[in-house]
Amino acid sequence: MMENSIWMVAAFYLLAAVIVVSALLVVVLKNIVHSVLWLAVCFIALAGLFLTLDADFLAAVQVLVYAGAVCIMVVFGIMLIQRGDMGKTNLFNSQTWAAGGVVALVLVVSGYLSAATHWVGTAVPVPGKTVEHIGTLLLSKYVIPFEVAALLLLVALVGAIVLAKEVKARC
C-alpha cells in the first residue's frame, strides 16, 4: 500500500507544498486577478498529484477543464464586472477571525480522524491503460450518470445564457 520509491515520495512532498502554498495565496491576496492566477498554478500542481496516483486520464482532464476552461471563465467574469483599479478587490470581511477558528477546528478534527483511523487497503496496483478502462466503464456500468451529466451541462449552458443575457429596456 505504501509508496516507497524516493522519487515518488519527493514528488509528493514537492507537489503538496506547491498546492498548499498556492491555495494560501489564492485566499490571502488582495488583488483578485492575482488570486485567479495562483489558482491556475494550484490546479496544475493538482494534475501532477493525480499523476503520482496513477490517474493519468484524470490529470489530463484536470488540466484541460480546470486550469484551462474554468480559470479563463473566471477571468472573463472578473473583467466583465470589475471596473477601475484591481488592487483592493479581494478583501476580508468582518467574520474572518470566527471563520479562522472554525477552519482550525475542522482541520484538527479531520486530521485527527484521518491519522488515527486504521484504513484497510490493498497493495494491488492500478491497472495500466486507464483510459480504456474508464471509457469502458463509462459506457457500460455508468452510462446513466454519463448521459445525465451531458444533460446537466446542456441545462447549465442554457441557464447561463438566459441569466446573463442583455436585458432590453422597454419603452
Partner 1 sequence: MLTLSVGLTQYMVLSAVLFGIGLFGVLSKKNAIAVLICIELMLNAVNINLVAFNKFVTPTLFIGQIFAIFVITVAAAEVGVGLAIIIAIYRNKLSVNLDDFDWLKW
Partner 2 sequence: MQHAWLVPLLPALAFLVIIFLTRPWQKLSALVAIAGILGAFVFAALAAYGVFTHPIFTEGSLVYGARWFSMTGLHVNVGIMLDPTSAMMIFMVSMVASLIFIYATGYMKGDPGFSVFFAYVSLFAASMLLLVLSSNLLEMFVAWELVGLCSYLLIGFYTHKISAREAAKKAFVTCRIADFGLLLGMLSLQIVFGTLDLPQLAMRIAHFHQYTTTGVLTLIAVLVFLGPIGKSGQFPLHVWLPDAMEGPTPVSALIHAATMVVAGVYLVARMLFLFSKLPAAMELVAVTGAFTALFAASIAITQREIKRILAYSTVSQLGYMMLALGVGSLSASMFHLWTHAFFKALMFMGAGSVLTALHHKADVWEMGGLVKKMPITAWTFVVGGLAIAGIPPFAGFWSKDEILASTLNSHHYVLFAMGAFTAFLTAFYMWRLIFLAFFGEENPANHPVESPWNMTVPLIILAVLATVGGWVGTPWANVWSQWIFFGEVEHAAPNYGVMIGSVILALAGIYLAYLLYYADREKVRARELARRFNGIYTLLYNKYYIDEIYLWFNHAIVDGAARLFYLFDIYVVDGIIVNGLGALTRVSGEGLRITETGRLQNYALVFFLGVLVIAIVLAFSSPSAAGLLLGGVK
Residues 83-122 that bind partner 2 (CB under 8 A): 93, 95, 98-99, 102, 105-106, 109, 113, 117-120
- The label of the residue with cell 466583465 reads 80
Close Cβ partners of 19 (under 8 Å, ≥ 6 residues apart): 42, 45, 46, 49
Torsion (CA) 104, 108, 110, 116 in degrees, nearest 10 = 170
Looking at beta carbons only, is 93 or 140 nearer to partner 2? Answer: 93
Contact 123, 1 (CB under 8 A): yes
C-alpha–C-alpha distance, residues 66 and 43, integer Å:
7
User: Which three cell numbers mark 107?
Assistant: 482541520
Q: Enumerate residues 13-72 that contact partner 2 by CB under 8 A.
A: none
- Least distance in angstroms from the C-beta of 11 to partner 1: 9
C-alpha–C-alpha distance, residues 32 and 48, integer Å:
25
Close Cβ partners of 64 (under 8 Å, ≥ 6 residues apart): none
Task: Kindly state the DSSP code that residue 90 receives in the 8-state scheme.
Answer: S
Looking at beta carbons only, is 79 or 106 nearer to partner 2? Answer: 106
**Binder of partner 1 out of 128, 129, 142, 147 (CB under 8 A):** 142
- Least distance in angstroms from the C-beta of 85 to partner 1: 14
Looking at beta carbons only, is 98 or 164 nearer to partner 2? Answer: 98
Looking at beta carbons only, is 96 or 136 nearer to partner 2? Answer: 96
69: amino acid identity, one letter = A
- Least distance in angstroms from the C-beta of 168 to partner 2: 30
Looking at beta carbons only, is 117 or 140 nearer to partner 2? Answer: 117
- Residue numbers at the binding site for partner 2 (CB under 8 A): 93, 95, 98-99, 102, 105-106, 109, 113, 117-120
